A = this chain, B = another copy of it.
Amino acid sequence: MSSLRPTIDFLLHDWLHAESLTRRPRFADHSRETFGAVLDTCERIAREKYAPFNRLVDTEEPRFDGEKVILPRATHEAHEAYVASGMLSAAQDYEEGGMQLPYTIEAAAGTFFATASVSIGGGLLTKGNANLLMVHGTELQKEVFARNEFGGRFSGTMALSEPQAGSSLSDIATRATPDGADFESDPLGPRYRIKGNKMWISAGEHELSENIVHLVLAKIPGPDGKLIPGTRGISLFIVPKNLVGTDGQLTGERNDVALAGLNHKLGWRGTTNTLLNFGEGKYPVRGGAGAIGYLVGRPHEGLRCMFHMMNEARIGIGLAATALGLAGYYASLEYAKNRPQGRPVGPAGKDPSQPQIRIIEHADIKRMLLAQKSYCEGALALLLQCARLVDEQHTGTPEAAEEARLLLEVLTPVAKSWPSEFCLEANSLAIQVHGGYGYTRDFPVEQYWRDNRLSMIHEGTHGIQAADLLGRKVVMEGGKGLQLLAARINATIEQAIQRPELAEHANALGQALQKVGAATKSAWATGNPSDALANAVPYMQAFGHLVVAWTWLDVLLVLPAGSASPADEGRVRAARYFFHYELPRIPAWLRVVEMRDPTCATMPEDAF
């Protein structure tokens, strides 16, 4: 991980000017030094408590002894170190015990943990859960649940999916019925009994914390006892594993939330992933049937509350995918610098009595390393920029905040999907650089590749992101988000075109922008969503390449003219790789979008 820190410092300060955030009241006590101290701490914990155990958590998969889920001791120690660092509450107000850290810095710091061991985890779910409660919860819900999550006593989950309802949340069947006549008078919130099964719940059962706060989507039956079809019927509940008093202490009663099974995964094995039964009677509680849950926000507005968390959750997945990509890049770079194999191409390599050269001297190995660097550092830049926009949305002027919101609407599906796809490809290249050794479990790269395969699936699959981007984000509010993004891209182009060394890239980016704009129009030319969305994924791939190319060009703008530093030369090369090898892929993706190609959409089922 030799070069992650300088890369982050460069992007945060030279490119994103993170220090300028300290001129805002919320961040006024901060400075480049306090930001640096946070990064130092996280880098150290990741190095000492995460990285050495990444293989261990893969081989010692979580197991259930009938009562408890057993995780390796190392996971407990990593979790404790993470809690002790204060990072769970770092972004919170001072009066909440937080340090009012910008999200930009929090996100950057998270990269260290994910690079070291993505599945030991860095509190993403717990923070997301508690953040949601800080926005939508009552004062007491915040006090009892959110603050104990920020403090590390409790951890959190998001319990959305069900076995029959994954991408299609409107089909959830978990029921929430009022718990007695006085259900509305519970100080912790309107009290319901919850019954149903929840699937894919990460960190759904473990002994890392005193309690687990499940945020559960469920439907409150109508007067006829039936569930309201669709997403409108969905409400949100706090369902703690152990019941809690208004003082935040456990009452000693176990709630009726039972582990029904651990999912055995291809990777990401440091985190349990569970099927949970709510209210099926394994732990009968207070003489009623069903797990006890407290309503958050208003009935039937559960999904809206959840959506509040989605941008940051998706940026988090993008960052995890990127961190895994970077981990593979660093590992394969190290290997390539040390592995002797083969001789130069051409006459110089004809003499077998000469010693072998290191593989980093071969053009094809350099290609595979540069591709990884170009993908992963490009993705990192994009994600830190999105994090910076989150800060802008929360602390900028009203106009800047509105622009940030619009840009995030459009960029979030890309920030989630693009690293999921291309940093996975980077991991495959990292294996390839290692040759046969890369295929063994003696080297870390195969695990990165397995871990990263999750990224295109969770928090909205690739297909869901693409439908969101082309079906909603680029057309919403009259296309304002896309127009604003285009304006930003054009601003970068205008600056770049004045610099002779960047003019070629600027022109190429301008053409790509024009093509994506035209394809967006063509896709929607019939106004029929079936036509437009038939090729949403190729559209998203092209859109992502446009955005990453823009990001690279924007990064180059801040390099000192004529810089001779190796790091800057590396950025120039990685950007050039992207412009020469990657950006030219856009026309192939957009061709089918422009033509609204129906080859796939109209494929008869019996012809497969």
Contact = CB atoms under 8 A, between A and B. Distances in A.
Given A161-B436, A265-B439, A588-B585, A530 B341 contact: no
Given A170-B352, A340-B164, A584-B588, A360 B538 contact: no
Given A342-B167, A461-B432, A529-B346, A608 B439 contact: no
A436 B263 CA distance: 10
A343 B441 contact: no
B362 A463 contact: yes
A199 B436 contact: yes
B535 A171 contact: no
Given A432-B462, A438-B457, A533-B363, A592 B600 contact: no
A605 interface: yes
A584 B584 contact: no
A576 interface: yes
B605 A360 contact: yes
B166 A530 contact: no
A606 interface: yes
Given A441-B265, A457-B438, A607-B569, A530 B580 contact: no
Interface string A341-376: 111111000011100100011111111011001000
Nearest to A266: B446
A453 B449 contact: yes
A417 to B, nearest CB: 12
Interface string A228-240: 0111000000000
A275 B595 CA distance: 54
A240 B517 CA distance: 66
Give the number of times this chain occurs in the complex, counting copies. 2
B363 A534 contact: yes
Nearest to A442: B264
B441 A604 contact: no
A525 to B, nearest CB: 15
A345 B438 CA distance: 42
A581 B577 contact: no
A375 B580 CA distance: 26
A587 interface: yes
A471 B440 CA distance: 30
User: Taking each of A166, A364, A450, A530, which has the highest tally of chain B beta carbons within 10 Å of its own beta carbon?
Assistant: A364
A573 interface: yes
Contacts of A573: 599, 603, 607
Contacts of A450: 266, 450
Contact of A530 (B363, B446, B588): B363
A428 B362 CA distance: 29
B463 A608 contact: no
A248 interface: no
Contacts of A260: none
A386 interface: no
A478 interface: no
Given A363-B600, A432-B461, 12 more contacts: A171-B341, A230-B352, A364-B463, A367-B534, A367-B537, A431-B453, A432-B457, A573-B603, A580-B599, A584-B588, A584-B591, A587-B588
15 contacts: A166-B341, A167-B341, A229-B352, A231-B352, A265-B440, A345-B533, A366-B603, A367-B534, A369-B608, A370-B599, A438-B457, A566-B607, A577-B600, A580-B595, A585-B588
